[in-house]
Amino acid sequence: MKYFYFSFIIAVVGLGLAFFVGRFEAVYLTAILAVLEISLSFDNAVVNAKILKTMDKIWQRRFLTWGLIIAVFGMRLIIPILIVAVAADMGIMETVNIALFEPDKYESILSNTENLIYAFGGAFLWMVFSDFMFEKKEIKWIKPIEKTAEKFGRVNNISLMIAILIGIIIVYDAKSHTVAIAYFLGILSYSLLKALDEYFSTENVKNGLMGLVYLEILDASFSFDGVIGAFAITSNIILIMLGLGIGAMFVRSLTIWMVEKELLDEYKYLEHGAHYAIGILAFIMFLKIFIEIPEAVTGTLGLILLIAAFVHSKMELKKCKIK
């Protein structure tokens, strides 16, 4: 429980600020947004834990402190404002003014840029998923799929080749050069961060700064979907930031808890379930460029995969103890 003390403090402060903004209705909406963020980000927490356990302790702590500031104010407030400012060709202060006092207009502009967000986020998450699928693994969960993927993984740059093929199909159907730029920027960002991390890593310990940057971009890829979906609940940007920020804090605490308790080692299929959920999220983001899909579908599918992976891991753990 100690891992979540700070999260509960942040939640109380956040809900207190929400009460100041709009009384009990605002508190209720903020709580719903926090639950939405947590439900959409369980798989994010598992993947974060995998990365964090290869980083120094000091960077693990910085993920919880610096990372929280970046997550709450950067990914949930500043980045969406920058996207709207660029898309609408407005100044930053003008955009902030619209976000605070004309939320409907802000939502409309942000919605017009959602295809770019889905293209970038989907491409980045697809690379995370495909690199996991094609790597050689000692532990396999859904063996027929993972054995086949491992065979294809012997082909150099298979992840990149498939990502480029998917990009060509998406760009052809979307008929948008901005979607193309966003998609291939997602691939470039992932490839660049991976290359820098491998260059600076020493003795199988990830470079702390590169690891933190990677985790924040991964977090952004998850959070963009939540930020856009949050407008279905409220158009108040302050409540959205508070609610999603509270959720992000709990996800970070959950991540640290899993690292400290070494749950990924104990429940060996959790990592697999999380990456399958990421693959589905990436695919849904691609579909969202063309059709409307509720966030509830995304969250439910991811949660089902994680529960299945947890249950199967628990069963395997019992079998080992019996032997």
- Write the CA distances from 117 to 80, 279, 288, integer angstroms: 10, 16, 10
The domains of the chain are located at 2-322
pLDDT score recorded for residue 93 = 82
Compute the distance between CA of residue 37 and CA of residue 244 in angstroms, rounded to an integer. 6
Digit-coded pLDDT (tens) for 69-87: 776 666 666 767 777 777 6
8 Å CB contact between 270 and 310: yes
Q: List alpha helices for 175-236, DSSP H.
A: 177-200, 208-230
Q: Across residues 175-192, what is the average pLDDT?
A: 87
Say how many C-beta atoms besides its own lie within 10 A of residue 264's C-beta.
19
Higher pLDDT, 279 or 323: 279
Q: What's the longest Cα–Cα distance across the chain?
A: 66
pLDDT score recorded for residue 225 = 64
Please give the share of the chain, as a percent, with pLDDT higher than 90: 5
pLDDT score recorded for residue 76 = 65
Compute the distance between CA of residue 323 and CA of residue 22 in angstroms, rounded to an integer. 58
**Statement: residue 139 has pLDDT above 60:** yes
8 Å CB contact between 309 and 274: yes
Residue 165 confidence class, pLDDT cut points 50, 70, 90? very high
Compute the distance between CA of residue 180 and CA of residue 120 in angstroms, rounded to an integer. 9
Digit-coded pLDDT (tens) for 111-122: 777 888 888 888
**Structure tokens that stand for 16 in this block:** 């207190």
Q: Considering the chain, what is the average pLDDT of its residues?
A: 79
Most confident range (mean pLDDT) of 177-181, 215-219, 290-294, 312-316 is 177-181
Digit-coded pLDDT (tens) for 146-159: 888 888 888 888 88
pLDDT score recorded for residue 97 = 83
Residue 169 confidence class, pLDDT cut points 50, 70, 90? very high
Higher pLDDT, 315 or 232: 315
Please give the share of the chain, as a percent, with pLDDT higher than 70: 84
Digit-coded pLDDT (tens) for 184-227: 988 888 888 777 766 665 555 555 677 777 777 777 666 666 66
Digit-coded pLDDT (tens) for 122-134: 888 898 888 888 8
Q: Across residues 36-47, what is the average pLDDT?
A: 74
pLDDT score recorded for residue 167 = 92
